[in-house]
Copies of this chain bind each other. A is one copy, B any other.
Amino acid sequence: MNFHISEKMASLKPSAIREILKATSQPGIIPFAAGNPAPEAFPVQAVAEITADILKNQPIAALQYSVSEGYPALRETMKRFIAQHDQIGQPYDDLIIVSGAQQGIELSAKVLLDDGDTLICENPSFIGSLNAFRSYHVNLVGVPQTQGGIDIETLERTLQQNPRTRLLYVIPNFQNPTGTCMSLEKRKAVLELAKKYDFVILEDNPYGNLRFAGEDIPAIKSMDTEGRVIYCGSFSKILAPGIRVGYVCAHRDLISKITVAKQCSDVHTTILSQMICQRFVDDYDIDAHIASIRKIYAKKCALMLSELDKHLHPAIQYTRPEGGLFLWCTLPQQVDMLEFCRKAVEQKVAVVPGNAFNAREEDPSSSFRVNFSTPTDPQIVEGAAILGKLSYEMLEAIPAQR
């Protein structure tokens, strides 16, 4: 039978890009397209110890229904954690535990956006968030990024053109997909614009703890004195993504609405996962663990960069990230980026075509995303060589095509 699908979900169609992404999970593929943390970064032993202890001494608490706001001890722990690590927390703020930052983003959109309201994002931006926004049928507008992050002039012009802008979505640290950071000046400018044009900033910070070079830049939320910023954090990159735990810190009026939305969505986040996170932060040396993860990614990123430096055609530009999981490669405009990605997959190296991250997927892109956390070191070496060879083939073919 033919089903009537809601307008908001009917517009979310599988795309050609997702088909390419599907191919990337085939066995034998070098996974530069993924976004998985490195398995060696998981504190397996600690999780096993904590879990055994919880199931021995507090089994009923771990298995029974719990409250939608989250495990009270973890909420307190995370309030302390972001106060210490990110100088976040105003008297009017509250914090809810969610099933990964993805849920924090989705629920924020649900709470704040009516059909047709405008949400502005960096262009390109994280596809998972963009799809969450699309699933509420909002007017999604991307603003390009220049040196140091989102282009402030274009952002202001976009705000003038879209008076129903409710939300600006940004990933200021090691942005997905570009791997770059928003400068302090731009963070301040964005906050000023939020006051001037009366919108809320959704600050997504899954990678902030993964800085392996350079200096930390204050979170936008830490400079906010009005409650205009919703801050989303995650355990996916500092502990493990499979346990699905994230958190949202925002003005208590927003958290209370997000709590109602969460109750409708999944009642509460897996309580065992929440208990594991609380114990891990409170009873283990979380800072030492984060330092060890940073070392892993620093090494992997350096390897990826040195191999790309060695192999890629010099006309290809790429970011040199100071943290996070991704770098962003840009081909000369004459090269067909989708064709490049298709040929790369044929040769067993998967990368993500850049237009997958556009606010409007149909807009052109000359870039592709490369992940360095998922592949093993030998895969990085092998994959970079394959991409390098392909880059010479395709770039040297250009004059002949003219």
Contact = CB atoms under 8 A, between A and B. Distances in A.
Interface of A: 1, 3-9, 12, 14, 35-37, 39, 42, 44, 47-48, 51-52, 55-56, 59-66, 99-100, 102-103, 106, 110-115, 117, 128, 131-132, 134-135, 166, 200, 226-228, 236, 240-244, 251, 253-254, 257, 260-261, 263-273
Contacts of A260: 9, 12, 14, 131, 135
B135 A226 contact: no
A242 B71 CA distance: 11
Contact of A60 (B42, B111, B228): B42
Given A4-B166, A62-B242, A48 B52 contact: yes
Contacts of A111: 5-6, 9
A59 B47 contact: yes
19 contacts: A1-B251, A7-B114, A12-B260, A39-B63, A42-B64, A44-B59, A48-B59, A102-B266, A106-B265, A106-B266, A115-B115, A128-B263, A128-B264, A128-B267, A131-B264, A132-B265, A134-B264, A241-B267, A244-B270
Contacts of A166: 4
Given A266-B266, A270-B273, A55 B63 contact: no
Contacts of A251: 1, 3
A110 B131 CA distance: 14
A306 B62 CA distance: 33
Contacts of A7: 114
A14 B62 CA distance: 27
Contacts of A253: 3
Nearest to A56: B48
A336 B306 CA distance: 77
Nearest to A107: B265
A242 B260 CA distance: 18
Contacts of A132: 264-265
Contacts of A56: 48
Contacts of A3: 112, 200, 251, 253-254, 257
Top 5 A-B residue pairs of the complex, sorted by shortest distance between their CB atoms? A63-B240, A242-B271, A99-B266, A48-B55, A270-B270
Nearest to A42: B63
A9 B59 contact: no
A325 to B, nearest CB: 12
Contact of A64 (B39, B62, B99, B268): B39
Contacts of A61: 242
Given A55-B51, A99-B99, A270 B242 contact: yes
Given A9-B257, A251-B3, A242 B131 contact: no
